[in-house]
Every structure is written in C-alpha cells, then in structure tokens.
Structure 1
Amino acid sequence: MTRMKVRILASLIGLPLLTIIILIGNPYFTIACIPIGILATYEAMNLTPFTDSKIPRKLIYIVTLLFIIYSFIALSISIYLIGSLIIISVCFIISILWVITNNDLEYKIQRIIYINCIPLYCGFLFSHILILYIDTSLPIGLGLSIIIFTMCVTFAGDTGAYFVGTYFGKIKIVPAISANKTLEGSIGGLCSSVIVSVIVSTVIDIQLNILPLLFIGVSLGVMGQLGDLFESKLKRIKQIKDSGTFLPGHGGLLDRIDSLIITIPTSYYLFYIFLV
C-alpha cells in the first residue's frame, strides 16, 4: 500500500473517531486529551538536542499534565490564564534550580528554554481546546462550534497545501527548514482555509460578518502553516523526517496536530474578540 493510500485510510478512521470523542463530551473528552498531550510531550522531548539524562523529563510531563487537568477545572479563559501563569512560573523556577544544581551541564540557557517551552507548547497551547469546550463565559454551544470550525479549517489548509504542493509545487520557499514547502502549496493551503471557513461557518451557523470571518480564515491558514514550519525546524535540527511513528502514513502525533496546537488558541482569542 502506498504512503498516500495509508495516509487517506488513517484519516478516514481517525477523523470520525476524533469527532465522536468531541461530541460525546466531558469527562471523556478530557480523558482522551491526556494521552494525546503526553504522547505529544514525549515526541517533543525527542526533538530536543539533549539525551534522556540531560533534561528533567518527569518535570516536563508533570507540568504538561497540570495544564491539561487545570483546563478542565477552570471555568473561563481568564481563570485559566491566571492559573497557567502560576504553573509556568513555578516550572521556570524549578528548571533554573535544576540547571544550577547540575554543574556539569552545557548549554544551560538552552535547557531552561526547552524545559519550559515543551509544557507551554504541548500543555498550555494544546489545553486551549479543553477550556474552549467548557468556557462558561461563551454562549452555550459556541465553544464546540469553534472547535469544529477550527479543526475543519486547519485540516483543510493542511490538506490543500499538501495536494497543491505535491502536484503543482515548484518554487521552494523555506528549503533550509522544509524541502517540500512550496509557494504554490502555501497559497493552496491558505485558499483552502478561507474557502472552508466560509462553508463551515454557514453549516454550523456561526453568527459572524463576512470580513471578520475572512480575517479569521486567513489568520488560521497562516498560523497553521507557521505551526507546521516550527515543528519542521525542530525536526531539521534533529535531522529526522517525522516526530514519531504513531500514525500510519502520517508520521508522529505532532506531525498531525502541530498546526492545530497553534490554530486552536488563535481561533479562540479571535472569536472572543469578535463575538464576546
């Protein structure tokens, strides 16, 4: 079976399963997000230039879990942001103490950055999908609508960029980061994001004027591609093709949700500005 067929088959199985988990609701949605966050953290740590013994992996796992669990407890984004600031502040202090007490370490500043940025990426940013789901400051049902909207727009942008880039891509835009990223693919992905944003907003009845809607569609298209490039840069530094082998035909889990980790918070705050 070709990589393309495996990729399509995995999507046909994975997307309906993901949709069912979202629609079932809590606490099942939160329970499902915990292993996703942990696996994403595992893959992210493997993208660092340091070996197992050179970063406090247990601390990173714990902080990531704290973000995910706290997002289930917090009732609004304002409460979540305050609590998250406390969590990452404590993590920052502990990471500094850990580096100071390990005198034989090299690149101490880089280690502190990795120790704090991995939980922020896989915990704080990822957990926005949970707090968005239960945010009591949003109109009833709006959080779920925004999640579905964002997932559709993000996956459309990713798929559009992949197919347009595969069949029509010629102009390389960031060969130093990703050899497969082309200008044609980037434009195709952006157009797909905008088109799907209009279609999905009509289907799920998001009450938003066309100009803000187009702005959100473009923003998600751009941020999704930046999220993908960010992970590609980490993989290029590590000199690997995929973040893992968890998803057949797709690589690792981070290879599939790297864009979503960025677009969910982006969508959250933009809709909050325009609708609340």
Structure 2
Amino acid sequence: MKQRILTAVIAAAIFIPFVIYGKIPFILVTYLMATIALYELLKMGKQSIFSIQGVLSVLLLWVVLWPDKYIHAIERFGFEKLEYIFVITLLYLSYSVLTKNAFTFEKIGFHVISSLYVGMGFHYFIEVRSIGLTYVFYALLIIWATDSGAYFVGRALGKNKLWPEISPNKTVEGALGGIICALIVAILFSVFSNMDLSTIKLLVMAVLLSIFGQIGDLAESAYKRHFGVKDSGNILPGHGGILDRFDSLLFVLPLLYFFNQL
C-alpha cells in the first residue's frame, strides 16, 4: 500500500504540471505515454515493438494521435489523416507478403486495433485538454469517483457478480455505487466549476462516463485474462503499467469530447 501511494504521489507530481500547462509539452508527454501503452499492449500479445511491424504500429499510433489543431502540418503534403492510415495498412499487408505470411492477417488486425485503440483514446486526451483544463479534471474525477465508489460499495454491499468470466471481484452493487459517486462529482462541478454546461447535461454525462469507464476497465481485464497476464506493465510500481492506469480514460475521453459537441 505504501508503495502504491508513493508511486501515485510521484506520478501526479510529474504529470499534473504538464496537464495544467498544456500546449506542446503536454502533447509530447501524451505521445510518450501512448507509445509506452502501445508497447505494453503489443508485449502482452507477444509482439515486439522493436520490429518492422512494431515500427509500423508506432507510426500508425503517432498519426492517429496527431492533434486536430496542427492537422495542416501533416496535410501539407496532399494527404489527409485517413489516407496516411490507409497507406500504413497497405504496408502491413505488404510486409505480410514479404514474410510469406509469417506475419499473419490476424497479427495485422492485432497491431491495427492496438494502435487505433490506444491512439484514439490518447488523441482525445489532447482534444479534451484543448477544450479546457476543467474538462480534463472532470473526466479524471469521474473516473476516480467511479473506481472508489465501486471498490468500497462493492466490498460493503456486493453480492451479485457483475461479469465473473472477466473480472470475478466486480459486483453489480459496486458498479451502481460507482455511478452514484460519479453523480456526486457532477453535482459538485455544476456548483463550483466554470463548465458551460447545464446541471442536467453534467449529470447525464456523469452516468455515461461512469458506465463506459467501467466498460473500459473490463475491456482491459478481458484482454489481460486472454493473454494470461496480471498487469499490462510494471512502469508504475504498485499500479502496473500505463495501460492499467488509463484503461477507463481511453473510453471516457472520446465520449466526453463527442458529448461536449452536442
């Protein structure tokens, strides 16, 4: 527990100043975290990032991550973002031919989905930060409240398993407790924050973000169980890897961004 708390304090002390400052330093840190997360995911699937297919996955990740604000920088060569993604996909297929199908179609799918999953989640971390710092803290606090509520309510009242095939310790009561705690956070934000959103919209967002945050957590639990690993990595002692810490946010941040556009 002490190690877990110490790691959390040190990580927050390093990470939060970048979030607050934003701009290019925050984007670079996001690129770094996303690349580490991709490394962790590929490693779970027994794929090396230090290979031709791994390099292609990193390139795909970096293209997907590219901020909308600077989209003109990569489109100046006459290609749109989606066209770069298509070209990289063709390179995967070409490499499959060159390896005489040693790099199989299934492995191509794993690499592409891994890069898109990690890339899109962290891309919207950048985009949500561009909307405003308050939105980032709203997402973070919704996730933390959901996790804490699910843990404590689940331990105190949990009887009915939520999804035992994937995560045997999670309960329906815990999941509902997490949603209730997220609603409390939304109410506090409606009173004390400068978010230009109605209380009703904040409450609806809180419910959706809490639900999808828990789905994101279950999704990572599912592929960790599939690959037979306990944690995605060990870069954060007591917490696992980057992917372990951002699994919920990778689902929540795109949803928050889309919901804010309505």
Give your verdict on TM over 0.5.
Answer: yes
Q: Report the secondary structure of 1:179's partner residue.
A: strand
Distance apart, 1:8 and its partner CA: 3.0
Unaligned regions of 5+ residues in structure 1, if any?
76-81, 135-141
The reply to whether residue 125 of structure 1 matches residue 121 of structure 2 is yes
- The equivalent of 2:231 in structure 1 is 242
Distance 1:52 1:172 in 2: 37
- The equivalent of 2:247 in structure 1 is 258
Q: Report the secondary structure of 1:19's partner residue.
A: helix
Moved over 6 A (4+): 51-55
The reply to whether residue 187 of structure 1 matches residue 176 of structure 2 is yes
Task: Tell me, yes or no, if the aligned pair for 2:47 and 2:54 is still in contact at 8 Å.
Answer: no
- The equivalent of 2:83 in structure 1 is 86
Q: Which residue, out of 39, 42, 47, partners 1:42?
A: 39
- The equivalent of 2:5 in structure 1 is 8
Distance verdict in 2 for CA 1:104–1:169, change over 3 Å:
same
Distance apart, 1:59 and its partner CA: 0.8
Distance apart, 1:249 and its partner CA: 1.5
Distance apart, 1:104 and its partner CA: 4.2
The reply to whether residue 33 of structure 1 matches residue 30 of structure 2 is yes
- The equivalent of 1:200 in structure 2 is 189
Distance 2:51 2:164 in 1: 30
Distance verdict in 2 for CA 1:203–1:187, change over 3 Å:
same
TM-score by length of 1: 0.83
Distance 2:180 2:71 in 1: 36
Distance 1:42 1:230 in 2: 18
Task: Tell me, yes or no, if the aligned pair for 2:212 and 2:251 is still in contact at 8 Å.
Answer: yes
Unaligned regions of 5+ residues in structure 2, if any?
73-78
Distance apart, 1:158 and its partner CA: 1.9
Q: Which residue, out of 227, 232, 256, partners 2:216?
A: 227
The reply to whether residue 95 of structure 1 matches residue 129 of structure 2 is no
Task: Tell me, yes or no, if the aligned pair for 2:212 and 2:248 is still in contact at 8 Å.
Answer: yes
- The equivalent of 1:159 in structure 2 is 148
- The equivalent of 2:75 in structure 1 is none
CA RMSD of aligned residues (A): 2.4
Distance apart, 1:42 and its partner CA: 0.5
Distance 2:237 2:123 in 1: 25
Q: Report the secondary structure of 1:74's partner residue.
A: helix
Distance 1:163 1:88 in 2: 43
Task: Tell me, yes or no, if the aligned pair for 1:48 and 1:234 is still in contact at 8 Å.
Answer: no
Distance verdict in 2 for CA 1:45–1:72, change over 3 Å:
farther
Task: Tell me, yes or no, if the aligned pair for 1:133 and 1:144 is still in contact at 8 Å.
Answer: yes
Distance 1:256 1:103 in 2: 38
Distance apart, 1:256 and its partner CA: 0.6
Distance 1:202 1:95 in 2: 50
Distance apart, 1:148 and its partner CA: 1.8
Task: Tell me, yes or no, if the aligned pair for 1:43 and 1:243 is still in contact at 8 Å.
Answer: yes
Moved more, 17-26 or 220-229: 17-26
